[in-house]
């Protein structure tokens, strides 16, 4: 299957060992989209590298940026001002919704439901419009700066976010009507690609994949970053760890993200948006690891500084890459049609897998 197959979400190639239509083994061939992001980092200054991380998980660029900016801030030992933190949180949660919408649309399309994709893109469009109004870009936004934000929130920012959130509750019900109770959908997803909690932890899977197996682990709660400690939200968990549970977990996460956004726009503190960082960033020699809960799982940045303006080494822990390892475990014994559903439910982005 692949690398040019309509349902591999980019350029993933999967070698399947089949017995009739039953899968006996899989092997992923990756690297078609390798751009050497980590190596590029070594030849760029800290600020110059920030836009590059947007090109990893390109459907969740804002989250990538947040992780990187916070990692460098940790290295510099500065903190973004509270106003910047809250705006970052709102943007990141909107991005989480957008990323999950893309997942839902393509996942449903893989399983043969054509319509949810267009509904999802319609809602995502609203989010992208907010991004565009905020920073001028829709996809690879480079929305944040090291130390805070470059742009002040535009005038009707709160109003736009609120309107989106108000609408979104009704919209999400449309997906629920189309899919959740549909017996074909349940038949295609329940007991497909089961991962036990133990398997998930052994494989290092994170994000919704881990939570659907019943492990309540979300960095937003476990190691709060940005402004997540200010807001109340639930961490949805599944029980079986099958594709249906992952679907339910992501749907609930969208609702929770919506609630976080609503809480956050209630009270955006006033104040500066950029902390005290110089024009030239020269972090002290040392190393740092910072991870955030990206839409797809734990996104970690490990940065080694040698005291110059350029990082000595940047290592990125991409959630897609590590979640993809579970494919073989999940697909064994299922049919070819299920492999498509399983790739969809892992929610991988090849830009991030290959970097």
- For the purposes of burial, counting CB atoms within 10 Å of the CB of 173, is it exposed (0-12), middle (13-18) or buried (19 or more)? exposed
Contact between 40 and other proteins (CB under 8 A)? no
- Name the one range near other proteins by CB under 8 A: 94-102, 251-259, 307-315, 327-335: 327-335
**Residue placing its CB nearer to other proteins in the complex, 176 or 285:** 176
**Using CB under 8 A, which residues numbered 86 to 125 contact other proteins?**
108-115, 117-119, 122
**Residue placing its CB nearer to other proteins in the complex, 108 or 237:** 108
Contact between 304 and other proteins (CB under 8 A)? no
**Residue placing its CB nearer to other proteins in the complex, 201 or 337:** 337
Contact between 178 and other proteins (CB under 8 A)? yes
The two beta strands, 297-305 and 311-317, are antiparallel
Closest CA to 348 of 102, 24, 61: 102
- Name the one range near other proteins by CB under 8 A: 35-43, 270-278, 296-304, 330-338: 330-338
Contact between 27 and other proteins (CB under 8 A)? yes
Interatomic CA distance for residues 286 and 306, integer angstroms: 7
Smallest gap, in angstroms, from Cβ of residue 103 to other proteins? Answer: 15
Contact between 25 and other proteins (CB under 8 A)? yes
Contact between 185 and other proteins (CB under 8 A)? yes
Contact between 17 and other proteins (CB under 8 A)? yes
Work out which of 165, 215, 340, 349 binds other proteins, going by CB under 8 A: 340
- Name the one range near other proteins by CB under 8 A: 67-75, 315-323, 333-341, 345-353: 333-341
Contact between 5 and other proteins (CB under 8 A)? yes
Smallest gap, in angstroms, from Cβ of residue 1 to other proteins? Answer: 9
Tokens of 248: 């339910």
Contact between 347 and other proteins (CB under 8 A)? no
Residues that bind other proteins (CB under 8 A): 5-7, 15, 17, 21, 24-25, 27, 108-115, 117-119, 122, 178-179, 182, 184-185, 187-188, 190-191, 194, 332-333, 335-338, 340
């Amino acid at each position: 299957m692949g690398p040019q197959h309509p349902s591999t979400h980019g350029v993933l190639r999967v070698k399947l060992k089949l017995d009739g239509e039953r899968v006996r083994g899989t092997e992923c061939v990756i690297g078609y989209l390798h751009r050497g992001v980590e190596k590029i980092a070594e030849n760029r200054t800290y600020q110059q590298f920030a836009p590059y991380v947007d090109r990893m998980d390109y459907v969740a660029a804002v989250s990538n940026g947040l992780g990187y900016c916070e990692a460098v801030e940790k290295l510099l030992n500065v903190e973004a001002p509270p106003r910047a933190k809250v705006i970052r949180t709102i943007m990141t949660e909107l991005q989480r919704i957008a990323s999950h919408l893309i997942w839902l649309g393509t996942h449903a399309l893989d399983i043969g439901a054509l319509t949810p994709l267009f509904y999802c893109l319609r809602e995502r469009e609203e989010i992208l419009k907010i991004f565009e109004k905020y920073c001028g870009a829709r996809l690879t936004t480079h929305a944040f700066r090291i130390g805070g934000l470059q742009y002040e929130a535009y005038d009707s920012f709160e109003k736009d976010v609120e309107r989106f959130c108000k609408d979104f509750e009704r919209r999400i019900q449309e997906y629920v009507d189309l899919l959740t109770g549909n017996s074909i959908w349940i038949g295609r997803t329940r007991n497909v690609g089961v991962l036990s909690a133990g398997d998930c932890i052994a494989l290092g899977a994170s994000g919704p994949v881990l939570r659907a197996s019943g492990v309540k682990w979300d960095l937003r709660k476990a190691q709060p970053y940005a402004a997540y400690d200010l807001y109340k939200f639930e961490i949805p968990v599944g029980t079986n760890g099958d594709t249906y549970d992952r679907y339910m977990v992501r749907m609930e996460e969208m609702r929770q993200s919506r609630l976080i956004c609503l809480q956050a726009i209630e009270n955006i503190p006033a104040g500066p948006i950029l902390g005290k960082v110089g024009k030239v960033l020269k972090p002290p020699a040392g190393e740092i690891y910072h991870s955030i809960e990206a839409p797809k799982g734990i996104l970690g940045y490990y940065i080694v500084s040698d005291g110059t303006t350029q990082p000595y080494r940047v290592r990125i822990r991409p959630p897609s890459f590590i979640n993809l390892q579970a494919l073989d475990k999940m697909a064994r014994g299922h049919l070819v049609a299920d492999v498509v559903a399983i790739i969809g439910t892992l929610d991988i982005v090849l830009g991030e897998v290959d970097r």
